[in-house]
Amino acid sequence: MCGITGWIDWQKDLTQYPSVLEQMTYTLLNRGPDASGTWITPHCALGHRRLSVMDPANGAQPMVRHYGENVFTIVYNGELYNAPELKKELELRGHVFHTTCDTEVLLVSYIEWGRSCVDRLNGIYAFGVWNSQDQSLFLVRDRLGVKPLFYSYTDGRLLFGSEPKSILAHPDFPAQISGEGLAEIFAVGPARTPGHGIYSNMSELKPGHWLNMDRNGLSIRPYWKLESKPHEDDIDTTAQRIHELLQDTVQRQMASDVPICTLLSGGLDSSALSAFAANYNKENDLGQLHTFSIDYVDNAKYFKSNAFQPNSDAPWIKRMTEFLGSEHHYLEFDTPELVESLKTAVFARDLPGMADVDGSLYLFCREIKKAATVAISGEAADEIFGGYPWFHKEETLKANTFPWSLATKDRVNLLSPDFLDWVKPEQYVQERYRQALSEVPRLSGENHDQNRMREMSYLNITRFMPTLLDRKDRMSMAVGLEVRVPFCDHRLVEYVWNIPWEMKSAGDREKGILRRALRGVLPEDVLTRKKSPYPKTHNPSYLEAVRTWVLDILNDPNSPLLTFIDVDKIRALAEGDADQFNLPWFGQLMTGPQLFAYLAQADTWLRHYKVSIR
């Protein structure tokens, strides 16, 4: 993976501002520690940071290709998993290739098919192509939004980048935020509304969309979306098709010129991917698969089973490593480094995020990077197959809000009265919820319950899943680790989207159809293990550390956070036992300690980025 950035401006000669482009590019150093490149013409400036995965010697970017009188230049972040097939087709059409990297395949695909090339791509990507002849920039983001892409368009000037920090590095772009952006932070966050860049005048190119800019202005179009249609396969055919798609996807994503490993929790999703990967290595004489897991000091001592985390991972990891014959790496972290990582996670996201769930993933990826450059991870299976508890509980199915944010009222009750009057956070969340429901592609003939499960699937795929994909991208790329997510293959998502809920939950189990599809791939006890999410620390020292941090913030009259919170209520909570938030206020993992950590991250973000309020 890599980092990309750029600047299009019809009013200035950009060749006079090379240092600005260099600084925008430099901010993405961690995404691409192996090489850097810039390309400047009077009205287009492109920058790239490279993490070498395929053809390290010849894949430098920005990559330039001459075609007749025209010149095409690309910056690209991602991986094309069908590059070999595309390359063969393009060679039959007369194109000659000079590298073995997918960047050249992607660029030549655009030269050959123009904007419609996106319909042929299988992969995760964000890229931009500059066409010198018609002076236009074509920007694209992958269908599910695995790879990030932000932009700002003002008065004919376009800035874009893999992360907000590259746009913030431009001297004419101030770090400002409006009431709407603050509502995203304090009411919706750590999720984000699709397309919302949080900072004023910054947007996110939505998944499955392309953007084109020329002298006539800016146009944005979707090229992919979920489509609802009847599912005609029986349950056995459906399970077989899922098995085939997942196996093919993992095999495609095992392609790499550098070491590749898997993240293994002993749960259904990571175990399945690890099993397919281990089989691939065996069939291709690639040696023993390396697997990695995460835990925390004294977690076994303090762990308590609950509805969201029914059991610990350790015994199941041991079970799977013995089954796979993998070389396993147990990684464990303690409270001090976990607390310190909260700040690092803010700098990686350019926003407050999922607290220690972010920070621990950063630490995890940092250690993995010492042994591998590419990892495979199980994100998205729960959103696509309906694995979360909120898919299966009547109270969440009937809740008239996002099912992962049922405590919004309690949460916003901790904000200051003046701030509440200004941004009206509960109303804002309701508007965003109604907006999401209005987008759901309905299927004629479905009854109320079937329609509701389709809504739940859509909410999870388009609103909750992006939060986890953002987390995985930023925390992994902050240390130059590429993480691939096979469950986000668009062919699999398209197929599973239309499987009726009764079949998805076959056997009256969460992800029942996936379990059926994996028969013969995993041991029976792993196949039937009850879902347990990404592990978090249960050590009381973590609660004490973030509680103390928040009290220090409350005692600092210069804290920018104080404007937005009800200081007395937060103080009472911090000085109490935090029992008020024993149930998650976001997702499955963010309870009382994570609330304090999120507030600490918000304070860090406001201070470090010198955010001004519009």
Q: 10 Å Cβ neighbour count for 178?
A: 15
Q: What is the residue type of 573?
A: L
Task: Please say whether the beta carbons of 80 and 59 come within 8 A.
Answer: no
Task: Please say whether the beta carbons of 232 and 498 come within 8 A.
Answer: no
> Tokens 């850097």 map to which residue?
36
User: Can you say whether the dihedral through the CA atoms of 289, 290, 296, 297 is positive or negative?
Assistant: positive
Helix (H, G, I), strand (E, B) or coil at 6: strand
The DSSP letter of residue 170 is S
Q: What is the DSSP string of 28-44?
A: TGGG-BSEEEEEE-SSE
Helix (H, G, I), strand (E, B) or coil at 408: helix
The Cα 456–Cα 448 span in angstroms is 12
The Cα 556–Cα 575 span in angstroms is 16
Q: Where are the beta strands (DSSP E) in 81-175?
A: 123-131, 136-141, 150-154, 157-161
The pair of structure tokens assigned to 284 is 């291709």
Spot the catalytic one: 2, 117, 261, 365.
Answer: 2
2 is catalytic: yes
Q: Which residues contact 19 (CB under 8 A, 6 or more apart)?
A: none
Instruction: Give, in degrees to the nearest 5, the angle at Cα 477 between 473 and 479.
Output: 140
- Upper half-sphere CA count for residue 14 (Cβ side, 13 Å): 22
The pair of structure tokens assigned to 477 is 């790329």
The Cα 61–Cα 37 span in angstroms is 6
* End-to-end Cα spacing for the chain: 35
**Nearest CA among 301, 243, 253, 228 for reference residue 122:** 253
Please identify every residue annotated as catalytic.
Answer: 2
